[in-house]
A = this chain, B = another copy of it.
């Protein structure tokens, strides 16, 4: 467990160790068209909103060794925003199987609830830092700040789109296409893809990817090999690949 945590540290090292504390951020593609007309991620929170949020927040640091952030079915007392690192949001299926419904990256909100209970469990994938907001305080804030409320609504819409996107990815056959979509998603994430070396860091295990794409980890390994045989990628290490055919992945990344 220990060394696995450290392994994650190396592979998922998007942020250097102990970065200076940044204000909370919530990012999303807004509803309306922006000036440049390209669907880009925007930082939704104003400086004042960030202050308001900091006032009710506590900082949480976690990694794979520290256990789940919260478990499905328990009292939903907090909502989290990701500052750095990656969190997986999990829904347990019946017989030991589980589905990762989302990977949460910096700028994302974690802690969906219904009837006072968390709907999913959340666990760190890499070492990560989150802001934790008590729901009661957050609701008080929302009642007095309609603009913040609007921003959360925009963010919720963004998460809904993301969920529908992974839905349409899972529906795809064969599996190597799902993997291509997943690689395209990772390439869009800040800090994982190095344009110069054309290398992409894969911060999660094959098991994680398998639970995300609804496939077996062995199949994933075969699909990586398949993409290599197709001359679309080059495997540098288990968690590091080089992108050979950009257009190929651009095609799979077209979906919003």
Contact = CB atoms under 8 A, between A and B. Distances in A.
B156 A101 contact: no
A157 B155 CA distance: 10
A115 B170 contact: no
A102 B39 CA distance: 23
Interface string A61-92: 00000000000000010000000000000010
Contact of A164 (B29, B30, B91): B91
Contacts of A149: 146, 149-150, 153
A152 interface: yes
B30 A172 contact: no
Interface string A142-177: 110010011011001111110110111011100000
Counting chain B CB atoms within 10 Å of each CB, the highest count among A29, A34, A113, A164 belongs to A164
Contact of A168 (B29, B39, B93, B160): B93
Interface in A112-145: 112-117, 119-120, 135, 142-143
B31 A116 contact: yes
A115 B167 contact: no
A256 interface: yes
Given A101-B167, A119-B161, A160-B163, 15 more contacts: A29-B115, A31-B113, A31-B114, A91-B255, A99-B171, A102-B164, A113-B157, A114-B158, A142-B150, A153-B156, A159-B160, A160-B160, A163-B163, A166-B167, A170-B170
